[in-house]
Structure 1
Amino acid sequence: MMDIVIVDGTALVFEPMFGNRIVTPCGPAQLRGSGHPTMQGRKVCVAGDEKQVQVNAIYTTATHTIPGNGVITISLTANQQATHVKSGASWVLKGQQFIAQFRPTTPAQQPGTPPVPDVTTPSLGKGQFMPTQSVVRGS
């Protein structure tokens, strides 16, 4: 099935729940393209570009209400990579949802004396691309 090709500057939108954590990005998140082809003056995103995504975020849990900080990274799913590319790396497609991982760097705290920190184990979430072009499709 044909799907929208993702280009440089495409916004990333994350679901707020990463396991038991409520995660809020600190600013806009975008995927940067490094492919050789361009569309409307923007480079095509290729498999591997997602590895450069690192989004700073704050988070809390139901019990750890003093916010902590961390970083969101993403991984593509199989339906987000074009398999019919004639040369070079696979192009990134809109697909369904990508896998997002949140890794705390400063744990959220549970109020008390002394405050109790959250565990720093990474947690998984989901997100999706918000394409800026809808003309070019791939499979």
Structure 2
Amino acid sequence: MRNLKIILLGMLVAVACAQAGGSASVVAKKSKTKGFTYSFETRERFVGECIKGANQQVCYCVLGKIQQQYSEVDYWRLENDLRKNIDHPNYIAYLTKSVEECDQEAARKSSGSRGGLFGGGGGGISTRSR
């Protein structure tokens, strides 16, 4: 319920800014980057669980990709369903593709540094609770 209030408040502020014009509405109209903003708690929880089996850089990258596609409300609905073993093949496919892309990006970045900047970790992330 608290998250819903935060989302609704954010939407109200966004509408007010767009109606008021100014630089915020110019940015909103010109930006090609779309996506959703998640609460601090959701981001921290996702990354905290993710880094148990994956590189921190990969975790942040995947979270960014999830935020591009799914609202925070949708993310939690899907996450809760997966914890109950309710399958969402399209979501799992999106996560799998995102992990692969982020793994490749992390490998490219770390291969250019001596000794590896981000250390081990590797592997994918698990979307189901253990």
TM normalised by structure 2 equals 0.26
TM-score normalised over the length of structure 1? 0.25
Select the structure that is richer in helix.
2
